[in-house]
Amino acid sequence: MVPKWVVVWLLFAACLSTRICAFRVGRNQPTERISGSAGDVLDDDPVGRLKVFVYELPSKYNKKVLQKDSRCLNHMFAAEIFMHRFLLSSPVRTLNPEKADWFYTPVYTTCDLTPNGLPLPFKSPRMMRSAIQLISSNWPYWNRTEGADHFFVVPHDFGACFHYQEEKAIERGILPLLQRATLVQTFGQRNHVCLKDGSIIIPPYAPPQKMQTHFIPPSTPRSIFVYFRGLFYDVGNDPEGGYYARGARAAVWENFKDNPLFDISTEHPTTYYEDMQRAIFCLCPLGWAPWSPRLVEAVIFGCIPVVIADDIVLPFADAIPWEDIGVFVDEQDVPNLDTILTSIPPEVILRKQRLLANPSMKQAMLFPQPAQPGDAFHQILNGLARKLPHDRSVYLQPGEKILNWTAGPNGDLKPW
């Protein structure tokens, strides 16, 4: 009896000359506009719809932190830095706080890095508390709403829970002083204590210039069916296995390491970006957190993202029809991944590729320097603009207090 994967492989090999596998990458590829209200929202121009006041904090909260370690500019948490830079020169900025719709506090909480370049979140709560104490003491605007008209960029693994391990992040919960603020974060998972209502989910930072240097000729066919590079096990932090990625990555390896339809490995080749442009499907499984830069990379390079992260909330979901663009696979269904992907009709794959080729889709995933219309900066502003006007109920009565300044772990209450 011929193994099923051999039959599938023969079918895939035969399709290399068909319209799917010969789908080209490049600027001249066929596109499809995102239809309906989602497409209109994606193209919104936030200028003229809101004004943002940027607090001028002492440099120890931002610029000096960056001076100590410039690697912060290139890691996947760098959105907090580039959002600050963008707002300083943005036409939505107002120097008159009385005219502001929103207030922004530029605190770089992900810039305390390990030798391997991973952010240590342990000082972040104290740093954030210190900044809030400062603005509440020096300006009257925080105290009017206790932060309800303020937004903060918190791109940690689990947002304002400020821990990279989910169990401990859940135990900590969102920093109490941020309970009324709007959080702009990469972490998004439904029914999770680290995602509060009204948060704006953004893509992680991926260097636009770096990716642009790796575009390959538009005549290149997509000859790889499924592609993934990354860890399947994290022996150092999860020696017994099963906790990292809730076992989903391990299941990918154990089930498909010998399947020729799956080009998967722990090795990260220099041709990583080029390989994504040769693939039809790119796996985007959860790791320690449900999100990763792979989603951004897949979109930029036109590779259909296969999202394996139960209950994930994806970036700008009110503007981007992710269900039309990607493939969503439940973590428990990973052993059936080959069947799921080979069962998708060709016309569905082609439509997903056309939507991915839409320039506005790609632009929304990036934080370019300088900023460009429709990019992730503008999508964040669109999200803030759609929350206006603020309900009168967010403004407190004289002497009214809602937040508990002494709540949270004792370590968070120490001076920063």
pLDDT given for residue 217 in this prediction: 87
pLDDT given for residue 41 in this prediction: 61
Q: pLDDT tens digits for the chain (416 residues)?
A: 444 444 444 455 445 434 455 444 344 567 776 654 445 567 788 999 999 999 999 999 999 999 999 999 999 999 999 999 999 999 999 999 999 999 999 999 999 998 988 888 899 999 999 999 999 999 999 999 999 999 999 999 999 999 988 999 999 999 999 999 999 999 999 999 999 999 999 999 999 999 999 999 878 999 999 999 999 999 888 887 778 999 999 999 999 999 999 999 999 999 999 999 999 999 999 999 999 999 999 999 999 999 999 999 999 998 899 999 999 999 999 999 999 999 999 999 999 999 999 999 999 999 999 999 999 999 999 999 999 999 999 999 998 999 999 999 999 999 99
pLDDT given for residue 111 in this prediction: 93
Q: At which residue do the structure tokens 């139960």 appear?
A: 310
pLDDT digits (tens, 9 = 90+) for 27-53: 456 777 665 444 556 778 899 999 999
Q: Which of 321, 324, 328, 329 is nearest to 352 (CA)?
A: 324
Alpha helices per DSSP H over 367-413:
376-385
* Torsion of Cα atoms, 47 then 62 then 114 then 183, to 10°: -40
Rounded Cα distance between 178 and 125, Å, is 10
pLDDT given for residue 33 in this prediction: 63
Rounded Cα distance between 113 and 120, Å, is 6
**Count of Cβ atoms closer than 10 Å to residue 393 Cβ:** 8
pLDDT given for residue 180 in this prediction: 98
**Residue 8 Cα to chain centre, angstroms:** 33
Q: Are 375 and 368 in contact (CB under 8 A)?
A: yes
Provide the residue ranges of all domains of the chain, joining segments of one domain with +: 52-205+371-389, 208-365
pLDDT given for residue 40 in this prediction: 58
pLDDT given for residue 319 in this prediction: 87
Rounded Cα distance between 23 and 354, Å, is 10
Q: Which residues pair with 285 in a beta bridge?
A: 308
The encoded tokens of residue 220 equal 């290149």
What is the average pLDDT score of the chain?
91
Q: Which of 412, 166, 179 is nearest to 291 (CA)?
A: 166
pLDDT digits (tens, 9 = 90+) for 283-320: 999 999 999 999 999 999 999 999 999 999 999 998 89
pLDDT given for residue 2 in this prediction: 40
Q: Which of 92, 110, 88 is nearest to 101 (CA)?
A: 92
Alpha helices per DSSP H over 139-259:
141-145, 166-172, 208-212, 248-256
pLDDT given for residue 239 in this prediction: 81
Identify residue 124 by its one-letter amino acid code. S
Please compute, for residue 122, the number of CA atoms within 13 A of its CA located in the half-sphere on the CB side.
Answer: 5
Rounded Cα distance between 348 and 413, Å, is 53
Rounded Cα distance between 110 and 69, Å, is 11
Rounded Cα distance between 65 and 72, Å, is 9
Alpha helices per DSSP H over 281-385:
294-300, 322-325, 337-342, 346-356, 359-363, 376-385
Instruction: Tell me if the pTM is above 0.85.
Output: yes
pLDDT given for residue 16 in this prediction: 41
Q: Report whether the peptide linkage leading into residue 389 is cis, meaning its omega lies within 30 degrees of zero.
A: yes
Tell me if the domain spanning 208-365 has CATH number 1.10.3470: no
Rounded Cα distance between 236 and 241, Å, is 10
Alpha helices per DSSP H over 160-241:
166-172, 208-212
